[in-house]
Amino acid sequence: MSITTTTKSALLAFVAVALVAAGYFTSIPQANALTPLADLQAGDLFRGEAFSAVYYLSVDGTRYVFPNQNTYDSWFDGDFSDVKFISDSDLTNVQIGGNVTYKPGTRMIKINTDTRTYMPAADGSLRHVTTEAVAVAYFGADWNTYIDDLADGFFTNYTIGDPINDAAEFDKAAAEAAAVSIDNDKGLVAPASISVGDSGYSPIDVNISAGQGVRFTNNGNDSHSATADDLTWGTGTLFTGEEFIRRFDEPGTYTFFDSYDGSNTGAIYVN
């Protein structure tokens, strides 16, 4: 049989939605000083001045968003002591890489429009917990207190994996232990680097693995870009000192040119 959560009051649901809409990390005290963007390190938790949303700085140089506090709590147990404040202007200079998903094995989740309850697995995969017996094996007799409701809009952050018909089919403790960081869970790695200068790209080509990114940095005095030959992607205009990170998930050859100087060309080989 399919398990469902116990009925929750409409008031509780309303409050949960209101907290998300208002900014769900309002309990974080205001910082006494701002951290310079250059001092942020991969793995840091940070937020801007005006908005309360908290981000994770991934090893690929982008920021990953915690879509709600429950997702944050699955990784950090509600501890905000390490969250750093940066200026709002610096925040705009860190690209968004995606949304953080639940830490595998920590809790179960469901959405209001689906009666099924899911166990989060690696990299945002969800596995349907098909019976109460399986849930009890993982969380004990009070298993229903380990279910979080997820807004429908965040469900698209996940993919659906194989159902769990027996507790032996998913090692909850091993999955949780393996997720040592958000980078590790999502398989994120440091990007390759290409400098965009007034005399061209350096290097003019790089070899990367599927899922890896490339950081383009304008180290010249003039405006430049990296624009795909087939125009399917591009950095947009990069002014001096600006950078852009683009992740390449599919193997292939990606050639590009500088839209400000068509004689400057380069290539990315994704294996």
Distance separating alpha carbons of residues 139 and 106, to the nearest angstrom = 10
Which are the contacts of 86, defined by CB distance < 8 A and separation ≥ 6? 34, 35, 36, 37, 40, 46, 47, 48, 49
62-96 tens-digit pLDDT: 999 999 999 999 999 999 999 999 999 999 999 99
pTM: 0.81
Taking residues 227-231, report their average pLDDT.
Answer: 96
Alpha-carbon torsion angle 173, 2, 186, 154, nearest 10: -130
Tell me the CATH architecture of domain 192-270: Sandwich (2.60)
**Running DSSP on this structure, what letter comes out for residue 129?**
B
Give the model confidence (pLDDT) of 129-176 as tens digits: 999 999 999 999 999 999 999 999 999 999 999 999 999 999 999 999
Every domain of the chain and the residues it spans:
10-99, 108-184, 192-270
What does the block give as tokens for 153?
A: 């809009």
* Cα–chain center distance at 159: 14
The residue type found at 67 is P
